[in-house]
Every structure is written in C-alpha cells, then in structure tokens.
Amino acid sequence: MARWKNANMDGDAIRALKRDVLYREAAASFRKNGYHGTSLDEIAAKIGLSKATLYYYVKNKRDLLYRCHMAASDEAMSSVCVDQSLTAFERLYRTLKDYVRSCLAEGSYTVIILEEKSLSKSQLQEVIKRRDQFYDAILAIVAEAIEAKDIRPCNPKFAVLTFLGAVNWVTKWYRPDGDWPIDDISTSVAAFVCRGLQQGAVDPFPGSSLL
Amino acid sequence: MARWKNANMDGDAIRALKRDVLYREAAASFRKNGYHGTSLDEIAAKIGLSKATLYYYVKNKRDLLYRCHMAASDEAMSSVCVDQSLTAFERLYRTLKDYVRSCLAEGSYTVIILEEKSLSKSQLQEVIKRRDQFYDAILAIVAEAIEAKDIRPCNPKFAVLTFLGAVNWVTKWYRPDGDWPIDDISTSVAAFVCRGLQQGAVDPFPGSSLL
Amino acid sequence: MARWKNANMDGDAIRALKRDVLYREAAASFRKNGYHGTSLDEIAAKIGLSKATLYYYVKNKRDLLYRCHMAASDEAMSSVCVDQSLTAFERLYRTLKDYVRSCLAEGSYTVIILEEKSLSKSQLQEVIKRRDQFYDAILAIVAEAIEAKDIRPCNPKFAVLTFLGAVNWVTKWYRPDGDWPIDDISTSVAAFVCRGLQQGAVDPFPGSSLL
Amino acid sequence: MARWKNANMDGDAIRALKRDVLYREAAASFRKNGYHGTSLDEIAAKIGLSKATLYYYVKNKRDLLYRCHMAASDEAMSSVCVDQSLTAFERLYRTLKDYVRSCLAEGSYTVIILEEKSLSKSQLQEVIKRRDQFYDAILAIVAEAIEAKDIRPCNPKFAVLTFLGAVNWVTKWYRPDGDWPIDDISTSVAAFVCRGLQQGAVDPFPGSSLL
DNA sequence: AATGAATGAGGGTTCATTCAT
DNA sequence: TATGAATGAACCCTCATTCAT
C-alpha cells in the first residue's frame, strides 16, 4: 500500500510521516479484522517493514491501537461545524456529511469497534473521554436545533446514539470500488438523518417516546 | 449465566437445549470481544464446562461462530413482517421494530461484526447468503413502499444499508441496566428510520442523490 | 534426566510429583545458566515435555523460579538443628553440615543467585523474607554460641554473611563426578567455619573489628 | 555514573580510558543482573552512549564480558602478595585482604558468576586458565604455609575453593551505603579465613577429612 | 566517533485442538 | 458425557547486531 522510503525531507518530519503511514495502515487492518484478529506481522508486511521495526515507532500493539484512536478522534472533532452564522440544524447536517467523508477517505484512522481487553484501563478512559467530547459536541448542536424547533422534541442523547449508528456503520459496507462516490454517500446519509430528526413532518408512526 | 444441568428431559432434546445455551453465550462473548478476542476457555467457563467438552457440542471455534450466525439469521428472518394485509411501509416499521427487539433480547445470537478470517470461505459465503436474504426481504418491502409512494424515490439498496446501520448499531450502545426499555428503543429507532425514508415531507437538505 | 510418565499412582499425587520433578530440573538450569540464561524450551526438553505443557503446571517462568526459591527455603529451614540438648556451637556445626549436604544433593531446589528483575516485587519480598528467616535462625544460634563463649565476640550478622559465603559457594564448584564425596565436603566446610569462629584459639591476625 | 567526554587527552589514551569506563560499568551490570539479564541498551544508557556506538569499542556483548573477566583476573593477580620477606601465612592474609578490597572497590571489574553459554569455548578456556592462575598462586601460598606448619594439614585445593567462597560471596551482600567500611570487611574476612585454616588451635569438630 | 534505522533470531505466552481415560 | 494432559502454531516482544550516514 503506502510505500516507505519515498520521502526525502529531514529528520523529525520524515519520522512523523512514517509514523502516520503506520497508523493509517494499522487502522485499516484493525477495522477489517478487529484488534485481536490483526497481527503485527500483517501490518509490518503492508508497509514493507519487519515486525521488529514497528517497535521502533510504537511501544506496543496496544499503543498502536491507542494512537489510531487518538488520531481518529482528532479527525472526528475537526469535522464538527462551528460556523455560528448557520442554524444548528444546518451545522448538524454539515458535521455529519464531513464526518462520513473523513471516515471513508482513504487512509482514515477510524477504528470504530472498541473490543474490550484491547486497551489498558487508562487508555480506554482517554479514548472514551475523547469520543464523548465528539458526542457532546453533536449533542449540543442537536439540543440547539430542538430549541430552534428544527428538530422534533426528543431525547437528544438517544437521537445521537441512534443516528451515529447509521453514520458509523457506513464504514462497514463502503467499498472504494463500488458504484457510489463518497460525496454522494455522505450527503445522502446526512440528509437521511436530518429528515428523520426534523420537526413538522407528518409522523407516519407516532407514539415513539424517545425519538 | 445460563446454567447447565438444570434440564431434565431426555436424549436429543436435552442436547439441543444445551447447544442452544452454548450458542447464546458464545454469541455474547463474540459480540463483546470479537471472534479473535474470545477464547474457548472463556466460553467454557461461562457455562461451567471444561474447554475440552465444548468439542463434544461443536466441531470448531469457527463452527461455533458459524452456528451463531446461522441462528442469528434465522432469528432475523423471523422478524420480517409478512402480513400482506398491511402496507409495505407499515410492514417495514414492524420489521425494524421486531428486529431491534430481538437483537437486544437477552440471549440473542446476533454477532453483528463479521471479522474477516474468522470463517472458512464456504461458511462465509453461506453467512453472507443468509444475510442477503434478510436484506433482500427488507429491500423488497422498501421497493414496494417506494412504488406505493410511501417512501421517497431513492436507491433502495443504499437506503437499506444506511438505515440498518442505525438498527445494528443499537447493540453496540445498549445497556440492559440503562434508562431506556427495549420496547421504547425499538419503536423509536424504527420510527426514526421510517421518518427519514418517508415521501412527502419537506426535504430540509435537498440534493442528495441516493437517499 | 528425571523421567516423566513412570509413576503410577493416582490423580493429585502424580501431579504433585510431576511438579516436583519440574522444579528440581528448573532449579538445576537456573543454577547453571542463571534465570535469564535459561529458556523454557531447555527445561521442557530436559523433562521430555513440550514448552507449552509447562504452562499447565506453572503460571510463568517467573513463577517457576519463585517456586524453586520457596521449595529451597523450606529445605534450608529443615536443616536448621533445633536439638536443645546440644550446645549452640554444636547445633551450628550440624546445621551447616546438613545445609551443605542438602544443597549438593541431586535434585536440590537451591538457586542461590538472585538476579534482579527475575521476580516480581511481591515475590522478591517473600523470597527475601524466607531467606531472612533462615539467616535469623542461624543468627540466633551464633548469638547463643557467643554468649556461651564458644564463639569469639564478634558481629554476628557479619559472621553469618561471611561464613554462609563459603557454604553457598560450594554449589558453584562442586562436581558430582569429582574426587570428594558430599559427606566429606559438608563436614569439612562446617568444621572450617566453626574453627574460624571459635573462641579461645590464638588469633594469628588480630585487630579485625567485625569478626 | 562514570561520565564520558570529561577526558581531554588525545588519541589512544583517551580511547583506552573510555574503554575502561565501559568495562567497569558493564561489569557492574553483569554482576547485578547476570550476563543474559543485562542488555546492551542498559549499559549504553549508563555511560550516555547509544547502543550502536558500543560496537565501536567492543566487538561483541560476549567480548565485553570477556574483557571484564580479563581485567578482573589482572586485578586479582595484582592482589597476590609476593613479598618473600613475609611468611606464607602472612602473605595469604594480605592477599585475601587486598583481594576483597579490590572486589568491593567502586568500579571493580569482577563479575564472579560465570554463566555457561555466555562465552565462546576459547574465551571460556582463557578465563578459566587465568582464574586458575590466581587459584594456583593462592594454592602455592597455602601449600607453603602448610609446610611451615602455620596451616593445618589439609587438602589445599579444597581449602582454597572453600575459603574463596567466603571471599567471593562478599560481593553479593556488600552494600556501599551499609554500616561496614570496606577496610573492616576485608580485614575481618581475611582474618576469619586464616583462623579457620590455622594449625594448632583446638579442633572443636575433629574428623573432617579435607580441611 | 557516533547514531538512527532496520532486522533475524529467539524467548515467553496463549490458544485451538486432540486424545486417552 | 466430561475432562486432564499435552502440543504445534502463532503471536507479541526483546535484543544483539549491522549499516548507511
């Protein structure tokens, strides 16, 4: 996949780049086979390095997963739309669209599934903390949009958990060689979610208590 | 969890029951830690059996996963609503609601995540075939509902993949000891999905090509 | 060396015996090559078992070393002579003699050298505690013999550390196929130590402050 | 510990000095953790050098150990007292005293424990040869002292092996921050050994055949 | 003279699987 | 039916060693 040695800059920069390639390839493997189903040999082979060399860049297999999660949560946070000139509903739409796009982009760090026993206690805490920051950012937008009557009155926590399912799940079925371009997917998923949330539409199946 | 020896019927019936307990417990572990992250020792311990004994009930670890998938897809198919006296849209709603409910029920067989390398080629094919049958059944309902103008014109395959994300994902965040009863969750998720699909509502973010 | 399967008793007894063989062989290897210089493959080969099987009997390599130390300290304590009808000096002599004999006996558990980093903190504490119990037992005898004026006035702690050197070191140079029978060695070493400690002899090099 | 670059002479002298620091630090590590328990990283870190650089000063890890042994045996030989104006017994006393002192001095090369498999066959031979030279030197003194009736009739080889145990063992329990100054230790140990060997004293436990 | 980067070999450990009982 | 004992294969990780710079 991503080739090694084809960089020519100096020292630290090069090292950072290499580490980055490592994280992206590792994330891809973790996504496909899960943490326990991925061997370091596999990852090393993908980037044309010996397994032992990985330990020059990373302390642990665990640590490698942790770094992926960290990079992924940074990426996620950066898709949160903060343009206050837009309505909250509009911001939600853009956020979801961008988030889907970044998750599907080649070389994403996103791992999605967190198998228990794959991280240390403190690492797990940090990962969850970061994930919650992302959730909270979205939650805030949703709450604001409810206030603004763009989104129907509902339990915003439940709403976020539910629609992020549709969003996260995309990484499970997306095929780069499939019929649908990433942009079409991201806009369509975001629009679907927003329609499901929106205020005012006739409710075909009324009586649901949470959303 | 589920106790062993507390059955008293004879012969095959008893054996089938025991196998069933095994599958359910195994599925729970696979769901939590992934296939590769689950050891047979773990499963054996949960049902109070020695690891070696598992091989009396199952050919393989792989086989065990396979059986879970089979049982799960049977379960899934049985949530498909076929009451032809109802509109397709209504049937979709009921199907989703029941499917969510069955996935969250204690002792579900659902594993959700399919790690590559966990099944043999032929097993994988069979699992995918069965899963596709479920998807196709839903697809058919969606197509019918589009025809009936209850669901907006869209790519039905894309629609199914997308909203099943929201549906499947529930198993990832549901906590039996949480605030929300299963019934509230299942109706709310199903309603959310249907609103997102429905024809006629004002489209807040028009221009999405797939859904 | 010690053969496996040639026992015929039942259940627990047989298992205890096997574990015992394991400890003795392990101790022999640790003695010869040090903890870090000994591989489990080596030990497994010596008793005709696969490396993986060792883990059926022992939790760890560390644990294996720990068990050796425990067994060795039990053995050491059992050479302490407690016959109160004898003078302390006489008891010291017998203790040393028996201790040397047990260390040199084929199949001894004694490891002697404690490499840092070979045990966990708590294991190390326990080993040191046990070793100190043995030292203290000897210390008490020495103190009593000083009191009785059989041993010259001296720092008893220093005395014990010093003469136990001569005693422990024997395991480093003893060769089972050498000229000297174990009994000759043990009596000679013990006698040498006691002469060095004894009260009343002319001091050829007076002025030493500790012993 | 010992700092690098703080020497300012030129060329070979400087290199020799650096090598010397290396040997002393290496010996300290080998003594504490054994050969196999000591990593080159550790040694390199102690003298503030990168692991790769060690290979500029030494051919091998093995070689490093070998050099320590060589330096140590030189040191040992230099403690042998050859002042022919003194009695053999007196020379023995002085030799032991000086030897203990040099072993305990900060920056000693002494490794003491020889793990099998740590040296090449030829290196091992050489180390043993040198060690035997030291033993033989002491042996000669002992024999002479027996002749002179200062030491009781005994097997001199056995005597040397035995009392060198007490002497070598000191390195195992000596703590630089302990209560006993090196000089007190060395005189006391030497005196203890000589008393144990001396002719004429009443033998409290007669009948030992070797010593 | 020094080091960053890379690696092969080997060691500890886990685990699915088998088999005799 | 059930299990204790045993094992090969695979995996994570460390480390001595090399080499280009």
The DSSP line for A104-158 is HSTT--------TTSS-HHHHHHHHHHHHHHHHHHHHHHHHHHHTTSB-S--HHH
Which residue of B184, B195, B205 is in closest CB contact with A190? B205
Reduced 3-state DSSP string for chain D: CCCCCCCCCCHHHHHHHHHHHHHHHHHHHHHHHCCCCCCHHHHHHHCCCCHHHHHHHCCCHHHHHHHHHHHHHHHHHHHCCCCCCCCHHHHHHHHHHHHHHHHHCCCCCCCCCCCCCCCCHHHHHHHHHHHHHHHHHHHHHHHHHHHCCCECCCCHHHHHHHHHHHHHHHHHHCCCCCCCCHHHHHHHHHHHHHHHHECCCCCCCCCCCCC
**Residue range A192-202: average pLDDT?**
93
With 80 as the cut, is the pLDDT of residue B4 above it? no
Between CA C190 and CA C209 the distance in angstroms is 23
* C43-62 per-position pLDDT tens digit: 999 999 999 999 999 999 99
Between CA B156 and CA D120 the distance in angstroms is 74
With 70 as the cut, is the pLDDT of residue C111 above it? yes
**Residue range B12-41: average pLDDT?**
93
Mutate to test the interface with C, among D205, D209, D211 (most CBs of C within 10 A): D205
Between CA C199 and CA D195 the distance in angstroms is 10
Between CA B46 and CA B22 the distance in angstroms is 9
Protein CA A5 to sugar C1' F19 (Å): 16
Protein CA D13 to sugar C1' E7 (Å): 35
Name the phi and psi angles at B151, rounded to 5. -105, 140
Q: How many CA atoms lie within 13 A of A18 on its CB side?
A: 22
Q: Are A60 and A35 in contact (CB under 8 A)?
A: no
Between CA C143 and CA C127 the distance in angstroms is 24
**Residue range D148-155: average pLDDT?**
97
Mutate to test the interface with A, among B101, B155, B205 (most CBs of A within 10 A): B205
Decide if B208 and A200 are in contact by the 8 Å CB cutoff.
Answer: no
**Average pLDDT score over chain A:** 94
Write out chain C residues lying below 8 Å of D32, CB-based. 115-116
With 70 as the cut, is the pLDDT of residue A8 above it? no
With 80 as the cut, is the pLDDT of residue C10 above it? no
Q: Is C39 on the interface with D (CB under 8 A)?
A: no
Between CA B24 and CA B61 the distance in angstroms is 14
Between CA A116 and CA A99 the distance in angstroms is 25
Residues 6+ apart with CB under 8 A from A36: A115, A118, B33, B34, B35, B36, B37
Specify the 3-state DSSP secondary structure of B198. strand
Residues 40-79 in A contacting B (C-alpha not used; CB under 8 Å): none
Alpha helices in chain A (DSSP H): 11-33, 40-46, 51-57, 61-77, 88-104, 121-147, 156-173, 182-197
Q: Which chains touch C (3 or more CB pairs under 8 A)?
A: D
Decide if C169 and D192 are in contact by the 8 Å CB cutoff.
Answer: no
Between CA B14 and CA B20 the distance in angstroms is 10
Give the residue nearest to nucleotide F19 (CA to C1').
D52
* Nearest DNA or RNA nucleotide to D56 (CA to C1'): E1
With 70 as the cut, is the pLDDT of residue C20 above it? yes
Which residue of D150, D172, D196 is in closest CB contact with C196? D196
* Nearest DNA or RNA nucleotide to C50 (CA to C1'): F7
With 80 as the cut, is the pLDDT of residue B115 above it? yes
Neighbours of A5 (CB within 10 A): 8
End-to-end CA distance of chain D: 43
pLDDT classification of B100: cutoffs 50, 70, 90: very high
Q: Are B142 and B136 in contact (CB under 8 A)?
A: no
Between CA C49 and CA C56 the distance in angstroms is 11
What's the pLDDT score for residue D5?
Answer: 59
* D35-78 per-position pLDDT tens digit: 999 999 999 999 999 999 999 999 999 999 999 999 999 999 99
* Nearest DNA or RNA nucleotide to B5 (CA to C1'): F1
Chain C, nearest residue to D91 by Cα: C205
Specify the 3-state DSSP secondary structure of C81. coil
- Dihedral sign from CA coordinates of B14, B19, B24, B25: positive
Decide if C37 and D161 are in contact by the 8 Å CB cutoff.
Answer: no
Q: Is D34 on the interface with C (CB under 8 A)?
A: yes
CA of D188 vs chain C CAs: smallest distance (Å)? 5
Question: Which of the nucleotides in strand E have any atom less than 7 Å away from a protein CB atom?
Answer: 1-20
What's the CA dihedral at B120, B124, B130, B136 to 10 degrees?
Answer: -170
Please give the single-letter amino acid code of residue A18: K
What's the pLDDT score for residue D46?
Answer: 95
Q: Are B103 and B170 in contact (CB under 8 A)?
A: yes
What's the pLDDT score for residue C5?
Answer: 54
Protein CA C116 to sugar C1' E5 (Å): 31
Specify the 3-state DSSP secondary structure of A49. coil
Specify the 3-state DSSP secondary structure of C175. coil
Q: Are B34 and A113 in contact (CB under 8 A)?
A: yes
With 50 as the cut, is the pLDDT of residue D163 above it? yes
Write out chain A residues lying below 8 Å of B184, CB-based. 208-210
**Residue range B118-128: average pLDDT?**
96
Q: Are C30 and C114 in contact (CB under 8 A)?
A: no
Residues 6+ apart with CB under 8 A from C40: C51, C54, C61
Q: Specify the residue for token string 């040296």.
A: D119
**In terms of Cα–Cα distance, which of B27, B63, B61, B22 is closest to B45?**
B22
Give Rg (Cα) of chain B.
19
What's the pLDDT score for residue A7?
Answer: 45
pLDDT classification of D26: cutoffs 50, 70, 90: very high
Between CA D100 and CA D181 the distance in angstroms is 12
pLDDT classification of B1: cutoffs 50, 70, 90: very low
Which residue of A117, A158, A191 is in closest CB contact with B208? A191
**Average pLDDT score over chain C:** 94
* A107-143 per-position pLDDT tens digit: 999 999 999 899 999 999 999 999 999 999 999 999 9
Between CA D162 and CA D154 the distance in angstroms is 12
* D127-141 per-position pLDDT tens digit: 999 999 999 999 999
Residues 94-153 in A contacting B (C-alpha not used; CB under 8 Å): 113, 115-118, 150
Q: Is D182 on the interface with C (CB under 8 A)?
A: no
**Residue range A56-84: average pLDDT?**
97
Q: Which chains touch D (3 or more CB pairs under 8 A)?
A: C
Decide if D210 and C180 are in contact by the 8 Å CB cutoff.
Answer: yes
CA of B105 vs chain A CAs: smallest distance (Å)? 18
Domains and CATH numbers, chain B: 11-197 (1.10.357.10)
**Residue range B10-20: average pLDDT?**
83
CA of B23 vs chain A CAs: smallest distance (Å)? 20
* Nearest DNA or RNA nucleotide to D51 (CA to C1'): E3
Q: Are D34 and C35 in contact (CB under 8 A)?
A: yes
Residues in chain B: 211
Q: Taking each helix axis as running N to C, give the angle between helix B156-173 and helix A156-173, from 0 to 180 degrees, rounded to the nearest 10.
A: 120
Tell me the β-bridge partners of D151. D198
CA of D55 vs chain C CAs: smallest distance (Å)? 22
**In terms of Cα–Cα distance, which of B1, B68, B71, B79 is closest to B35?**
B68
Name the phi and psi angles at B83, rounded to 5. -70, 100
Q: Are A79 and A164 in contact (CB under 8 A)?
A: no
**Residue range D177-192: average pLDDT?**
97
With 60 as the cut, is the pLDDT of residue B10 above it? yes
Alpha helices in C34-120 (DSSP H): 40-46, 51-57, 61-77, 88-104
Q: Is D185 on the interface with C (CB under 8 A)?
A: yes
What's the pLDDT score for residue D8?
Answer: 57
What's the pLDDT score for residue C4?
Answer: 60
With 70 as the cut, is the pLDDT of residue D2 above it? no
Size of interface C-D (CB pairs under 8 A): 190
Specify the 3-state DSSP secondary structure of A1. coil
Decide if C204 and D195 are in contact by the 8 Å CB cutoff.
Answer: yes
Decide if C117 and D162 are in contact by the 8 Å CB cutoff.
Answer: no
Residues in chain C: 211
Spacing of C-alpha A78 from chain mean position: 11
Residues in chain D: 211
Decide if B196 and A192 are in contact by the 8 Å CB cutoff.
Answer: yes
What's the pLDDT score for residue D200?
Answer: 82
Decide if B190 and A180 are in contact by the 8 Å CB cutoff.
Answer: no
What's the pLDDT score for residue C6?
Answer: 47
Token couple for A47 = 């980037």
With 50 as the cut, is the pLDDT of residue A1 above it? no
Between CA A89 and CA A67 the distance in angstroms is 32
CA of B22 vs chain A CAs: smallest distance (Å)? 21
Decide if A205 and B93 are in contact by the 8 Å CB cutoff.
Answer: yes
Q: Of residues C71 and A2, which shows the higher confidence score?
A: C71
Protein CA D117 to sugar C1' E1 (Å): 32
